[in-house]
Amino acid sequence: FIFASSIISILIAIMKKKIYDINILFALGAKNKLIYCVFLWYSLIYIIFGIIFGTSIGLLISSYFDKIIQNIEKFLNTKFLSSNIYFIDFIPIKVIYSDIFYIILLVFSLVIVCSSYSILKIIHKNSIKSILS
């Protein structure tokens, strides 16, 4: 959800910066469907790269998590999970690929729905402006 909300905020910021370009496309005779498709493809590019990089970084960190924690403990000269205090002195990590697939599917659908809504909102606002001007 954090990933989806960050992608949505990035897309809204990009679309607000592209209002001038949208108005030019309207002036050249572009239909709402064309503008919708252009920005939907733009958001798909962000989603795909975000999912690829986010999933690969997450899997990489989860596979080397014990070594990362050990290096941080050596650097800070402290023990996070001391065996004197806790029952276990490590963080158990199990990667379930079906859960990763469902999370990717959920994030993908959430971002598509939210970006479609924001695209339609901006197109509607700009089409009203272009009709009134």
Distance between CA atoms of 89 and 81, rounded to whole angstroms?
A: 5
Distance between CA atoms of 40 and 38, rounded to whole angstroms?
A: 5
CB atoms within 10 A of CB 89: 12
Q: pLDDT confidence of 128, banded at 50, 70, 90? A: low
pLDDT for 132? 46
For the entire predicted model, the pTM comes to 0.68
The domain segmentation of the chain, as residue ranges, is: 1-30, 31-132
pLDDT for 47? 83
Section 112-123 average pLDDT: 78
pLDDT for 127? 56
Tell me the pLDDT tens digit for each residue of 5-26: 776 677 777 777 777 777 787 7
Structure tokens at 73: 């403990």
Which DSSP helix (H) or strand (E) runs through 15? helix 2-17
